[in-house]
């Protein structure tokens, strides 16, 4: 059995430490108030049993709470007071060096919570450690100086989650939709060097990867680019190649136009192949300043093309992108595996979604890619045009910023819709199950607590906004001065981009299922409980509309992609309310509005049901269906894709893509429980449990993770049922 120390280090449970702590307090009270040695041993044993029953590593604070409870149950009130005083004194002594301890545990790779905080960061690498160390200092400053005490307290208690506090001390924002078109067509500046409009497709791809890396180092969330912005450079290369080929053949007295075109197209395809390969390998191998590959999404939407030639060239790029992703990338052993990034999004539209449509072959290729490598994810142009309607009454289709954070419709001062060059200011997430449990099931009390918690979130979100307010463009020239997000002057403040809907700020939420289950006794998929679930969602939207009107800031509802926070929230609920069957008996809570991972439901019913909630989460949402190996059943994948097109805006299929370096097993690596009760990954063929020799890829939050997960998320992955 393991416990988590205050530093985050995970160590073996030691019952003697509990006994010794009780003894120290016991020695300081009068004889009549003391426990016998046998009683002390008994209390320590009861605490040990309770820790074992929790099926997870408990932290020191929880153990001390258990000791206090046992002393109170034994009616040893003076002793309990003495123990509490001893605990408080020790706590005060630790205040000065808690951050130091955490940093030291990071360096020695002993901090279990941080090691599994981000499934795409390797915590043993110097650059990641450096980022985490800086993050601990930033969080310390944020908690002590920058945030109000009630926000810090609510965050620490798991009532809300103030995202990315490790970056809050700096004037940084969350995620963005990079205006790659402006930067390529009009030039940009990278690290003080002027980059002019590229004269070939391959050069455009090279510049794009440099932009991606620079952007990733100046914000902390996801970013997205569109392949449409690269498409014009295919024809630039075509004309250049054709000229070279014509000159070569002319030197040999050959003027055959058909031959010139044939050779030119062959060379052009090779350049497209190399350009796409450059993007894939650069993104995978680049390390940004936070120690991970850029969290980038590549958008594939034929409808963005401005003419038929550009559309066909875009189709060529998309085809090559899908082919290379199907192949994958080689690991250090030379085996083709699934990379986490770039994330791919493919738009289902009228010209590609049905057999016989012009680009249906691309959709078939996308289906094969999903079956093999878990991407692309799918946006329905049909549903998005219906959902994302601007003030002029026009619908728009565009990509999210990273894994699911969507901008709201916006019309600029020229009366034109605009999405590229916009961004999200940050996120604060509300723990919905905590509201339900705090109400005790009283519906009137629920809504009162709900409003109070929303007010707390509003206060926290305004802290995020005000932290960005006054930021000078010089803080991140690539973003604010050189086209990624704006073309501001040196020394100019970014404030005008924070208002009027140009950027968004997100109210996240988690655990709708558990919230509804506690208040109604039923899953939100039940027709009797569903109206309450929708009412909970609508209430958040109404609040955001109220705040937007008051502040002229685009507040938006965001289905939070809980990764480490799912474990944090679950532990907080267990600590505050105990183990409640069906509500707090897991080490995770459900992401956003999703159907619970253990609920038996078919893929089509799940997608149809969740589409109603996705519409009420305009700032970000994604739905998924869990499927088995589909590589030999592409028609079934296509059926799901067609259903997505007709029924839901944004969805994905979760498959498995694993590899064991010990025995060469290429299948699903399984989750087992070790002798300490900890969930571990194991090869079903050879029993290998060495995570450094297992390549495991799972989609957990809308994106693929490859560096493993905390115990809460691992349990959630283990509990998933198939929907197809």
Q: How many residues does the chain have?
A: 724
The helix (run of H) or strand (run of E) holding residue 466 is helix 443-468
Q: Which of 51, 172, 175, 641 is catalytic?
A: 175
HSE toward the beta carbon, residue 182, CA cutoff 13 A: 19
410 in catalytic set: no
Secondary structure in 3-state letters for 7-35? CCEEEECCHHHHHHHHHHHHCCCCHHHCC
Q: What are phi and psi of 522, to 5 degrees?
A: -135, 155
91 in catalytic set: no
Structure tokens at 187: 């030039």
Strands 422-431 and 504-510, sheet pairing: parallel
Q: Which of 10, 349, 514, 563 is catalytic?
A: 563
Q: Which of 346, 458, 558, 703 is catalytic?
A: 558
Q: Which of 222, 402, 702, 705 is catalytic?
A: 702
Q: Which of 105, 424, 439, 688 is catalytic?
A: 424
Residue 636 makes CB contacts below 8 A (sequence gap 6+) with: 630, 724
Q: Which of 403, 540, 641, 649 is catalytic?
A: 403
Cβ neighbours around 51 below 10 Å, total: 22
Distance CA 226, CA 218 (A): 20
270 in catalytic set: no
- CA distances 591 to 210, 341, 474, Å, are 33, 22, 37
Q: Are 66 and 50 in contact (CB under 8 A)?
A: yes
Distance CA 488, CA 339 (A): 36
Strands 343-348 and 296-300, sheet pairing: parallel
Q: Which of 205, 374, 397, 401 is catalytic?
A: 401
Cβ neighbours around 74 below 10 Å, total: 14
Taking the alpha carbons at both ends of the chain, their separation in whole angstroms is: 37
Distance CA 630, CA 628 (A): 6
C-alpha 149 chain-centroid distance: 27
Strands 704-705 and 694-699, sheet pairing: antiparallel
Q: Is residue 707 helix, strand or coil?
A: coil
401 in catalytic set: yes
Q: Which of 380, 405, 438, 623 is catalytic?
A: 405
405 in catalytic set: yes
Q: Which of 174, 473, 506, 591 is catalytic?
A: 174
Active site residues: 174-175, 401, 403, 405, 424, 558, 563, 702
């Amino acid at each position: 059995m393991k416990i988590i120390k205050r530093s985050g280090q995970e160590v073996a449970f030691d019952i003697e430490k509990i006994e010794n702590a009780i003894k120290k307090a016991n020695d300081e009270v009068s004889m009549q108030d003391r426990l016998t040695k046998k009683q002390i041993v008994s209390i320590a044993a009861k605490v040990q049993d309770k820790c074992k029953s929790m099926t997870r590593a408990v932290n020191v604070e929880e153990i001390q709470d258990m000791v206090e409870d046992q002393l109170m149950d034994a009616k040893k009130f003076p002793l309990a007071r003495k123990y509490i005083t001893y605990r408080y004194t020790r706590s005060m002594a630790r205040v000065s060096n808690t951050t130091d301890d955490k940093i030291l545990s990071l360096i020695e790779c002993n901090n279990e919570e941080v090691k599994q905080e981000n499934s795409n960061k390797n915590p043993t690498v110097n650059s990641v450690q450096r980022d985490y160390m800086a993050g601990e200092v930033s969080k310390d400053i944020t908690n002590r100086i920058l945030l109000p005490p009630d926000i810090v307290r609510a965050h620490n208690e798991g009532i809300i989650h103030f995202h990315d506090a490790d970056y809050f001390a700096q004037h940084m924002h969350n995620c963005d939709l990079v205006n790659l078109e402006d930067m390529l067509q009009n030039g940009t500046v990278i690290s003080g060097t002027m980059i002019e409009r590229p004269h070939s497709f391959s050069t455009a791809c090279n510049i794009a990867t440099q932009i991606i890396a620079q952007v990733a180092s100046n914000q902390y969330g996801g970013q997205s680019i569109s392949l449409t912005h690269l498409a014009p450079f295919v024809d630039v290369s075509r004309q250049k190649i054709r000229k070279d080929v014509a000159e070569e053949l002319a030197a040999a007295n050959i003027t055959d136009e058909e031959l010139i075109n044939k050779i030119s197209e062959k060379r052009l395809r090779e350049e497209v192949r190399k350009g796409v390969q450059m993007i894939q390998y650069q993104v995978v191998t680049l390390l940004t300043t936070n120690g991970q590959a850029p969290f980038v999404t590549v958008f594939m939407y034929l409808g963005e093309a401005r003419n038929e030639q550009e559309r066909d060239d875009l189709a060529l790029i998309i085809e090559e992108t899908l082919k290379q992703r199907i192949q994958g990338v080689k690991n250090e052993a030379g085996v083709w595996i699934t990379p986490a990034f770039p994330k791919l999004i493919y738009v289902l539209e009228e010209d590609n979604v049905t057999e016989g449509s012009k680009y249906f072959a691309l959709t078939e290729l996308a289906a094969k890619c999903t079956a093999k490598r878990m991407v692309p994810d799918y946006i329905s142009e049909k549903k998005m045009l219906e959902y994302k309607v601007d003030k002029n009454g026009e619908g728009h289709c565009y990509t999210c910023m990273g894994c699911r954070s969507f901008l709201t419709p916006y019309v600029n001062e020229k009366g034109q819709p605009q999405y590229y060059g916009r961004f999200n200011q940050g996120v604060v997430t509300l723990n919905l199950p905590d509201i339900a449990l705090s109400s005790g099931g009283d519906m009137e009390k629920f809504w009162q607590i709900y409003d109070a918690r929303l007010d707390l979130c509003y206060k926290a979100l305004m802290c995020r906004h005000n932290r960005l307010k006054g930021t000078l463009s010089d803080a991140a020239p690539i973003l604010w001065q050189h086209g990624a997000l704006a073309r501001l002057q040196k020394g100019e403040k970014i404030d005008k981009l924070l208002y009027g809907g140009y950027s968004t700020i997100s109210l996240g939420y988690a655990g709708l299922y558990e919230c509804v289950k506690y208040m109604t006794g039923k899953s939100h998929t039940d027709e009797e409980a569903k109206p309450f679930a929708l009412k909970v969602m609508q209430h958040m939207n109404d609040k955001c509309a109220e705040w937007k009107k008051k502040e002229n800031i685009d507040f938006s509802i965001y289905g939070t992609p809980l990764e480490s926070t799912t474990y944090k929230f679950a532990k907080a609920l267990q600590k505050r309310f105990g183990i409640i069957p069906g509500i707090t008996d897991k080490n995770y809570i459900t992401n956003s509005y999703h159907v619970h991972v253990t609920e038996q439901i078919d893929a089509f019913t799940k997608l149809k049901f969740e589409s109603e909630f996705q519409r009420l989460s305009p700032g970000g949402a994604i739905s998924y269906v869990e499927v088995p190996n589909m590589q030999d059943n592409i028609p079934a994948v296509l059926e799901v894709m067609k259903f997505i097109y007709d029924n839901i805006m944004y969805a994905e299929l979760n498959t498995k893509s694993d590899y064991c370096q010990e025995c060469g097993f290429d299948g699903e690596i399984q989750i087992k429980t070790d002798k300490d009760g900890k969930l571990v990954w194991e090869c079903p063929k050879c029993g290998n449990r060495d995570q450094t020799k297992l390549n495991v890829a799972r989609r957990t939050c809308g994106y693929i993770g490859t560096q493993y997960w905390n115990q809460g998320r691992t349990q959630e992955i283990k509990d998933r049922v198939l929907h197809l």
